[in-house]
Structure formats: structure tokens, C-alpha cells
């Protein structure tokens, strides 16, 4: 979405050639493939961990940090490694999005009409806010030290990165 908006605002005359159906299919395939690969790696690793503290998760759904709390072996280090790789990939995507928006905002600030600037900002800011919320709460949930963990905080953070962004999607699009 950030790249689409970058092309629409910064290269509007080339939009049709840059954002053709082939480019959209490639970007969608990359997003689906990376999500599927991450899910498969986490699922396979999770099922290979022995659980010694029961099988009750203190959440409204089963997620990786909560399962790691139930693990009793050193195999959880593999999952922590996977979480770090996932966090780095998310951070890389977030940096790409931020850089795209820096270029967009630079171009928007050069628009002479205040109405044009307002329209461009109102198109971009909600997306950037939701992505920031998702990335920051997701990284906090997965990389926070166990000393900061409490069931109530874990539940609030889980809702912030799993329920709120999809709920806001209709407003963004």
C-alpha cells in the first residue's frame, strides 16, 4: 500500500506502467508467501517443543509468546530465534514503508494547494498510523522481557495488534 501511494503521488504519470496487474500480483504473492513461510516455521517449531506447564494458555487465542511460557526445554531458543528473524523482517518492511512516506510527504509539501495537501495527507496518515500501531505492539508483544509480562498487559497488547488493525482497515481503504 505504501508503494502504491508513493507511485500515485510521486510518479502519477507513470502509475499505469509501474502498478500494472503483474506488479500487484507479485507484491500480493510476496506478502502471502512470507506470511505462509512464517506461519509454517512457527507452527512446526511450536509442535516440536515439549510443554511441561500444562496446555492452558492465558489468552483468548493461542499465540507464540504464550506457548513459549509453557515450554520446559531449551528448544524454545529456536522459537526465540525465529521471532527475532520475523521481527527483523517486520522492521525492514516498516523502514521501507517509512521511507516511502518520507518521499510522499516531501512531494506533498511541495503541492501549492492546501486542499491538495490535505487530501494527500488524509489518504496516507491513517495507513501509516495503523501500520505503526501493528508493528510497535507486535514487536513489544514478542520481544518484551518476561519481567514485564502480566496477563492483563499481554491481553491488551494482543488485542492492539490482532484485532484493532483489521478493524480499522475499512476506514483506511
Find the Cα–Cα–Cα–Cα dihedral 39, 42, 47, 53, rounded to 10°.
Answer: -130
Q: What is the pLDDT of residues 74-119, one digit of tens each?
A: 666 776 777 788 778 878 888 888 888 888 888 888 888 888 888 8
Q: How many CA atoms lie within 13 A of 9 on its CB side?
A: 27
Residue 116, Ramachandran bin (φ over 0: left; ψ between -120 and 50: alpha; else beta)? alpha
Q: What is the mean pLDDT of residues 58-82?
A: 70
More confident residue, 81 or 73: 81
Confidence of residue 22 (pLDDT cuts 50, 70, 90): very high
Whether the model pTM is above 0.95: no
Q: If you average pLDDT over residues 134-151, what whole number do you get?
A: 76
CA 140 from chain centre, in angstroms, equals: 12
Q: pLDDT at position 73, please?
A: 67
Provide CB contacts within 8 A for 33, sequence distance 6+. none
Mean pLDDT over the full length of the chain: 81
Q: Tell whether the model's pLDDT for residue 173 goes beyond 70.
A: no
What's the distance, CA 167 to chain centroid? Answer: 14
Write down the pLDDT at residue 75: 62
Amino acid at each position: 500500500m505504501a508503494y502504491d501511494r508513493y507511485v500515485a503521488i510521486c510518479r502519477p504519470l507513470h502509475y499505469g506502467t509501474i502498478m500494472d496487474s503483474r506488479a500487484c500480483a507479485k507484491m500480493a504473492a510476496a506478502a502471502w508467501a512470507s506470511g505462509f513461510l512464517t506461519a509454517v516455521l512457527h507452527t512446526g517449531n511450536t509442535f516440536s517443543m515439549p510443554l511441561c506447564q500444562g496446555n492452558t494458555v492465558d489468552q483468548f487465542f493461542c499465540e507464540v509468546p504464550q506457548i513459549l511460557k509453557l515450554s520446559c526445554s531449551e528448544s524454545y531458543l529456536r522459537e526465540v530465534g525465529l521471532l527475532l528473524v520475523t521481527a527483523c523482517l517486520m522492521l525492514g518492511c516498516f523502514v521501507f514503508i517509512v521511507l516511502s512516506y518520507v518521499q510522499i510527504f516531501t512531494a506533498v509539501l511541495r503541492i501549492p494547494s492546501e486542499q491538495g495537501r490535505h487530501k494527500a495527507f488524509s489518504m496516507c496518515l491513517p495507513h501509516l498510523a495503523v501500520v505503526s500501531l501493528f508493528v510497535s505492539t507486535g514487536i513489544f508483544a514478542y520481544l518484551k522481557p518476561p519481567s514485564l509480562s502480566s496477563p492483563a498487559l499481554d491481553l491488551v497488547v494482543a488485542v492492539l495488534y490482532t484485532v484493532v488493525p483489521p478493524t480499522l482497515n475499512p476506514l483506511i481503504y
